[in-house]
Amino acid sequence: MRVCAATVLGIAGVLAVLVAGPVRADPTAEQVRKVREAVSPSTVIVSFNIERDDGEKMDARLLGVVVGEGGLVMFSSAAIPSQFPITQFRDFRVVVTKGNDLQELDAEYLGKDDQSQVAFLKVTAAGAPALPVLAFDEKAKVDIGDPVVSFDNLGEPDGYARAMQLGRVAARIEQPVVTYLCTGDLGLPGTPVLTLDGKVVGIVGFVRLNRGTNARPKFGVLKVIWPVERFIERVKNPPMGGKIVKHPWLGVQTLTPVTKDLAEYFKLGDRRGVVVGQIIEKSPAAKAGLKAEDVILALNGKNITGTEGQLVENFGNDIRQRKIDEEITLEVWRAGKTEQVKVTLAQQPKGAAEADRYREKKFGLTVRELVLEDCVSRELPSEETGVVVAFLDPAGWAQDAGLQPGDIIKKVQDKDTPTLEAFKKLFGDEVAKKPKEIVMFVLRGKKDTQLVRIEPRWDAAEKPKAPETPAAPETPKAPEGK
């Protein structure tokens, strides 16, 4: 094939210009580097252990942010799951990185707020260095198309080096709360999200959405920009003493959305809302006279709106944004007409993670207080008594006998155990007798009563362990030749 000489010379000329000419700097890359340099010193590694009842430990390490003087550190509340009592979260530390050097500082867990999606530590190590505080910009806003930067980190072998995530705001989600979707991966939950000019506009959070209908739900959890306004009050007033921050509670267990068909049936026109199902006994809703099958159309004069899949979430979020002891007015459709129902919101009841616990090591059994959520979830009366099986050691006496997590122990040796204190005394007295068996009556599921016989292996438990044979001394290795 013949090639024109002019063409060859033209290509060579272009290549010469490309090679000799200066490489243009990427302004976005430079901005990202500046953000990383400015913010990285205010990020730390939060480290702690979760210890199960049988002593097995799970190690957790995640990125946190210094948000206050004196070493106040914020991280994602999702790292402290509510199925574990706070007493099982131990050895809190803050790992400060400087190049390849890692410094571990003892810290105290202060508490969490699942509504705001944040938890807090405070550095307690004597002589700890002053950590630079990251300031959140309450006035900064983002819009669709804006570039944003978030953080991730590499593992311990790489000195927890900070990794940057660059994306763009892709969508604004209005309900159940205002959040922002981004292109790409936003990074680790609880870590800061910044604009390219260094303004901190939020943290990485989660939002639960139902993109389907009530009949065909399509639930999903999306990673989003959680705006500063959602958690800034908690930064200013963090919890103390390992507490879970409480929020207002209405006391309605089941709600369903008003579909188009229901709206037509009730002759509501274009109005939407939620239908009340189970009302919890002695709750604010019960005291206010709210009834099953009531249709809640508005809260404090504001209509309940949203897609069918989001109506319940939107209403629940509105309740949670209120204050404890606040009086609200619900517009309710009842018996063919609207009524105004005033409700004084109360504090959330004690949850399973806050319940007192008791462990009997020989039996491999941990029980806890019965709390209201146990009764509600299993459709039991609120005055139900007993203790809940919280944990069973694998192959322990209690598990081998057929006891199951979630069982409510009603009786031991035919004697009632209405409270945790009653169970501790009764069970302790029986253990001291070393009986051949301990018989329990338990409530399993909603209505199923079971009899469980535990046959303790007292001889095996008390038999002294044989002394271990000393290990042979290690044979010295010959020096390696050069």
pLDDT on residue 25: 66
**What residues are paired with 203 via a beta bridge?**
192, 226
Pairing of strands 118-123, 72-76: antiparallel
- C-alpha–C-alpha distance, residues 4 and 15, integer Å: 17
Element (H, E) at 367: strand 365-369
Q: Which of these CATH numbers, 3.40.50.970, 3.30.70.20, 1.10.3720.10, 2.40.10.10, describes 37-123?
A: 2.40.10.10
Which of 2-6, 97-101, 224-228, 381-385 shows the lowest mean pLDDT across its residues? 2-6
- C-alpha–C-alpha distance, residues 31 and 197, integer Å: 7
**Per CATH, is 147-244 categorized as 2.60.120?**
no
Indicate the average pLDDT of the chain: 88
**What residues are paired with 147 via a beta bridge?**
168
Where are the domains positioned within the chain?
37-123, 147-244, 248-347, 352-462
Residue-wise pLDDT tens digits, 421-458: 999 999 999 999 999 999 999 999 888 999 999 999 98
pLDDT on residue 23: 54
Residue-wise pLDDT tens digits, 238-296: 999 999 999 999 999 889 999 999 999 989 999 999 999 989 989 999 999 999 999 99
pLDDT on residue 22: 55
Residue-wise pLDDT tens digits, 205-218: 998 887 777 767 78
pLDDT on residue 382: 85
Residue-wise pLDDT tens digits, 311-355: 999 999 999 989 999 999 999 999 889 999 999 999 999 999 899
Task: Decide if 37-123 and 352-462 have a common fold.
Answer: no
In 114-185, DSSP assigns E strands to: 118-123, 147-153, 162-173, 179-182
Pairing of strands 255-257, 274-276: antiparallel
Return the closest-CA partner of residue 36 out of 210, 208, 166: 166
CB 203 within 8 A of CB 183: no
pLDDT on residue 101: 81
pLDDT at 9 over 60: no
CATH topology of domain 352-462: Pdz3 Domain (2.30.42)
> Given this structure, which CATH class describes domain 248-347?
mainly beta
- C-alpha–C-alpha distance, residues 194 and 136, integer Å: 9
CB 160 within 8 A of CB 102: yes
pLDDT at 16 over 50: no
